[in-house]
Amino acid sequence: MKKYIAYLRVSTKGQERSGLGLEAQRAIIYHYANLDKIEVAQEYIEAESGKEIDNRPMLQSAIADCLNDKDAFLIVAKLDRLSRDVKDTFDILEKVRGKFVSCDIPTQNGVLDTFTLAVFAGLAQRERELISIRTKAALQAKKNRGVKLGKPENFTNESRAVGAASTKQKALKNLNNRLASALIERFDRGLYTLQQIADELNSKGFRTSKGKLFHPTTVKRLIERRKVPVSSILKAS
């Protein structure tokens, strides 16, 4: 019977201790698994900011589990949690013999094709490159303005609190979008009806923008806004 081996990754030891980013990753993975009615048999958490996949012991353990069990699939919440390098991504895919699921990548009947994976892997790698470029440019701009860098005392407690609240809100919004997208994908594949999606959203504590419960009509509007094919909407209704 098919099972998932979950791999979660944060960038620093501090994040591992605080749980920053882990709850969101875990929620996405378990929600995806519950929709497919597949057990998450094991969970590996990595606190590693390095780029080399060979320097990630938890990843190697997760890969080993997949190799030792023909029914085990490696699963991540988002492809960049696995790697932001195209070559590394496909190296890992080869190691697990194609038994891999990334919750943010659409599949065809549960099958992840290599072309789609290549597109998402390329985007993840490009994002890594852009992050580096933006960071260097921002630091240089601050230096040009005479700002002293690397001093936490430059930030007030109020600004820290505002920044933390903003980060939390963005993370929550991103998580909600991913969970909604996962439900919509299953609707488009004919696995869920509008009523079932409404029930699932309500049971998870989601509400409409007006704070009300979801109904088939509000779910239909949500799907239409996300440009799901109208033909599949009418058929499922």
Fold for domain 3-116? Rossmann fold (3.40.50)
Q: How many residues does the chain have?
A: 237
pLDDT per residue over 143-159, tens digit each?
777 777 655 544 566 65
What average pLDDT score do residues 157-184 get?
A: 58
pTM of the model: 0.52
Pairing state between β 72-76 and 3-10? parallel
Tell me the catalytic residues: 11
**Residue 107 has which token pair?**
């599949």
Q: CA-CA distance, 62 to 82, in Å (whole number)?
A: 11
pLDDT at position 199: 85
**Residue 17 has which token pair?**
């201790």
pLDDT per residue over 34-56, tens digit each?
988 999 999 999 986 556 788 89
- Long-range contacts formed by 171-175: CB under 8 A, 24+ apart: 171/21, 171/24, 174/24, 175/24, 175/27, 175/28
Residue boundaries of the structural domains of the chain: 3-116, 177-237
